[in-house]
């Protein structure tokens, strides 16, 4: 039996494999050397100029106020609290725009596919107009041309002495919560969960037997009766904080400042024009035979759209729709142009003011 000849391993520089490994090792060492030099040089320059680095500044007092904050904040709070305020403000504007842009975009997208010529053309004009206007320009229009030209607080638009609209913002009544409110809120959450389970059960029953049960009467009863029973048994705060004109502005209630309103309007309208095209493309991606089969079974158009077309279109709609939601979050950084305190504007203003010689 013949033995295989032994092959000597060549570790000389003439071996291409060895050269490839050596080149990679040299490149990695060079990269680490350059990065190390830059870090060392930066540390020395910061020390020579008395500039401190790190996140220790987050424990310092901010010393400035913020016009819009969803969580408790005062000028004596730390910069860490400032970042939390900015984060909640960014989440607020993003959530509002996502909800309104989705509703408006879905409606406009369906209108683009309507058999009504006028409705189809109007939706096309809407899409082609607003998606080609930069969002910053739309923000400026709503803020400077519309909202800032509303009457002042003393001449504010009044709705039954409960809600007020002026160039300072929208003021509406707001409930004052107390510890006794929690049973009612828990009862409301239980009612919502029960309604969801009821809809699911009736849906399975319809698919199994073909019989459609009316769900809305029971759902309306649950959403009203359960919180009412909890309120009767445990009691709850029923006081509403109604805005009142005091001095030069309104006090009390919930205030939606003009900056927030302008951002919500501009970004919702701008993004809805893109979402409308996403919805239209998703619906048109479903084979036409699906709708024809539904009509042959006698299903009305709303049921066909809700039960047949939309579920199949969602696999095409969801990826670009998610991208539009991310664009809303990114475009919220334009809030700095009109002074809305979002996370980016507060972060930039805080970091740029951290130079304190000797600290």
Q: In what order do the strands lie in the sheet with 157-159?
A: 157-159, 163-166, 169-172, 254-256
Q: Look at the chain and count its residues.
A: 359
Which residues, 6 or more positions from 237, have their beta carbon under 8 angstroms from its beta carbon?
A: 175, 176, 177, 178, 180, 181
User: CA 75, 77, 79 angle in degrees (round to 5)?
Assistant: 105
Say what the pLDDT of residue 207 is.
Answer: 74
Chain centroid offset of residue 341 CA: 15
Q: Which residues pair with 55 in a beta bridge?
A: none
Give counts: helices (H), strands (E), the chain. Answer: 11, 8
The pLDDT value given to residue 136: 94
Residue ranges of the chain whose pLDDT lies below 50:
1, 358-359
pLDDT of 9 reads: 65
Q: What is the pTM of this model?
A: 0.74
Locus of tokens 């040299």:
26
Model pLDDT for residues 76-111, shown as the tens digit of each residue: 888 888 888 889 999 999 999 999 999 999 999 999
Q: Which domains does the chain have, with CATH numbers?
A: 79-148+260-354 (1.10.3720.10), 177-239 (no CATH)
Q: Which residues contact 266 (CB under 8 A, 6 or more apart)?
A: 135, 138, 139, 141, 142
Question: Two tokens at 264?
Answer: 């919500």
Q: What is the pLDDT of residues 287-346, one digit of tens each?
A: 988 888 888 888 888 888 888 888 899 999 999 999 999 999 999 999 888 888 888 887
Predicted local distance difference test score (pLDDT) of residue 276: 96
């Amino acid at each position: 039996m013949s033995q295989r000849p032994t092959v000597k391993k060549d570790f000389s520089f003439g071996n291409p494999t060895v050269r490839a490994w050596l080149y990679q090792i040299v490149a990695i060492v060079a990269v680490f050397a350059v990065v190390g030099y830059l870090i060392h040089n930066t540390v020395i320059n910061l020390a020579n100029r008395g500039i401190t680095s790190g996140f220790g500044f987050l424990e310092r007092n901010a010393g400035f106020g913020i016009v819009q904050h969803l969580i408790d904040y005062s000028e004596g709070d730390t910069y860490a609290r400032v970042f939390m305020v900015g984060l909640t403000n960014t989440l607020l504007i993003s959530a509002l725009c996502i909800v309104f842009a989705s509703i408006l975009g879905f409606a406009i997208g369906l209108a683009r596919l309507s058999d009504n010529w006028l409705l189809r053309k109007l939706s096309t004009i809407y899409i082609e107009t607003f998606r080609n206007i930069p969002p910053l320009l739309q923000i400026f229009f709503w803020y400077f041309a519309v909202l800032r030209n509303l009457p002042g607080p003393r001449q504010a638009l009044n709705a039954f002495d409960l809600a007020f609209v002026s160039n300072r913002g929208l003021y509406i009544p707001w409930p004052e919560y107390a510890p006794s409110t929690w049973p009612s809120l828990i009862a409301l959450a239980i009612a919502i969960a029960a309604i969801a389970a009821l809809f699911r059960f009736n849906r399975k029953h319809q698919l199994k037997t073909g019989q459609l049960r009316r769900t809305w009467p029971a759902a309306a009863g649950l959403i009203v009766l359960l919180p009412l029973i909890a309120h009767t048994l445990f009691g709850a705060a029923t006081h509403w904080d109604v805005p009142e004109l005091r001095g030069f502005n309104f006090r009390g209630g919930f205030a939606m400042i003009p900056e927030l309103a302008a951002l919500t309007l501009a970004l919702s309208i701008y993004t809805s024009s893109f979402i409308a095209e996403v919805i239209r493309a998703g619906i048109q991606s479903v084979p036409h035979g699906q709708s024809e089969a539904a009509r042959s079974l006698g299903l009305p158009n709303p049921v066909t759209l809700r039960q047949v077309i939309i579920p199949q279109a969602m696999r095409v709609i969801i990826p670009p729709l998610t991208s539009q939601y991310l664009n809303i979050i990114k475009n919220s950084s334009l809030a700095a142009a009109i002074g809305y305190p979002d996370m980016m504007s507060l972060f930039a203003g805080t970091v740029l003011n951290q130079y304190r010689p000797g600290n």
